Amino acid sequence: MIVDVAMNTESLQLLAEALRKAMTAASGRELDEALARLGWLDMLSEMPDTAIPLVFKLLGETNAHAPLLNDVVLRAAGRSGGGTVPLPFAGGSWVVWERTDRASSALDTDLPIHRVPDGDPLPLAAGRRALGWWLVGTSRAMLSLARQHAVDRVQFGRPIASFQAIRHRLAETLVAIEGAEATLHAAADEPDDLGALLAKAAAGQAALTAARHCQQVLGGIGFTAEHELHRHVKRLLILDGLLGSARELTREAGAMLRAKGSAPRLANL
């Protein structure tokens, strides 16, 4: 597929449809190959600001996975995509996200991610933005599951969505997701390391908030393996840890402010 740099809305919609279809049909290595055929690496080099939000948010929404973070990080380092590279993980660990379907010992056993002894420092802003979009997509998928359950599930003779305690948890979830998405938009408009760091932190935090509230709203069914929720929860915990967790990045931002002595005004009108 040839990617036109100046894509119009219609062709973008077609692309989004093709991507969604690919992600619904396959995951892992098969999806990686399907996306390669759709021109993922061309998209990444020619229109990264469109491709990264589109592809990574869809991965979250469809609950598919592919090792595309490698490509984003490699490209930002001026190297060519298609391979793998050791990626920093929370707590000073390093991991490799393989381009295989090999089973792993990761919490989300679908993801071929494993520890490696170490790696080289890399520019992380682009990768953090990509993970932020993935986390937002995952959060929206969880909210959608919980919302539908709240509408369908009847207790005490009425849908549990009619109870304010349930409504407020879902509202809180939407607030967190919308806030995180705004930080991602701002980080794209004003490319900046701190902006990308904050967007990843906001998205990680939003996903953790979404997981907590949606798990609670889903009650017993959300704790079973037959329900989809646990896949999202396990995935987001790994995505949060990759390239720095929300907690670590928040602390890092705080240290930066303390050193600087003032609060940077990012996201200008």
The residues binding other proteins (CB under 8 A) are: 147, 150-151, 159, 161-164, 167-168, 170-172, 174-175, 178-180, 182-183, 185-186, 198, 201-202, 205, 247, 249-255, 257-258, 260-263, 265-269
By beta-carbon proximity to other proteins, the closer residue of 7 and 253 is 253
Strand spans (E) along 69-152: 87-89, 93-97, 113-116
Helices (H) and strands (E) in the chain, counts: 10, 5
By beta-carbon proximity to other proteins, the closer residue of 122 and 186 is 186
For residue 171 the two structure tokens come to 């509202």
Nearest alpha carbon to residue 90 among 252, 263, 248, 267: 248
What is the closest distance, in whole angstroms, from the C-beta atom of residue 130 to other proteins in the complex? 18
CA dist 97 and 5 (Å) reads: 29
DSSP 262: S
By beta-carbon proximity to other proteins, the closer residue of 14 and 256 is 256
Which one-letter amino acid corresponds to residue 197?
Answer: L
Q: At what angle do helices 193-218 and 125-152 cross, to 10 degrees?
A: 20
CA dist 5 and 3 (Å) reads: 6
What is the closest distance, in whole angstroms, from the C-beta atom of residue 85 to other proteins in the complex? 27
What is the closest distance, in whole angstroms, from the C-beta atom of residue 191 to other proteins in the complex? 14
By beta-carbon proximity to other proteins, the closer residue of 66 and 211 is 211
What is the closest distance, in whole angstroms, from the C-beta atom of residue 147 to other proteins in the complex? 6
By beta-carbon proximity to other proteins, the closer residue of 19 and 196 is 196
What is the closest distance, in whole angstroms, from the C-beta atom of residue 244 to other proteins in the complex? 12
Chain centroid, CA 134 distance in Å: 2
At 242, phi and psi to the nearest 5?
A: -65, 135
For residue 265 the two structure tokens come to 């005004």
What is the closest distance, in whole angstroms, from the C-beta atom of residue 5 to other proteins in the complex? 24
By beta-carbon proximity to other proteins, the closer residue of 65 and 140 is 140
By beta-carbon proximity to other proteins, the closer residue of 45 and 162 is 162
Q: Which residues pair with 113 in a beta bridge?
A: 97
What is the closest distance, in whole angstroms, from the C-beta atom of residue 134 to other proteins in the complex? 18
Q: How many CB atoms lie within 10 A of CB 131?
A: 30
Q: Decide: helix, strand or coil at residue 81.
A: coil
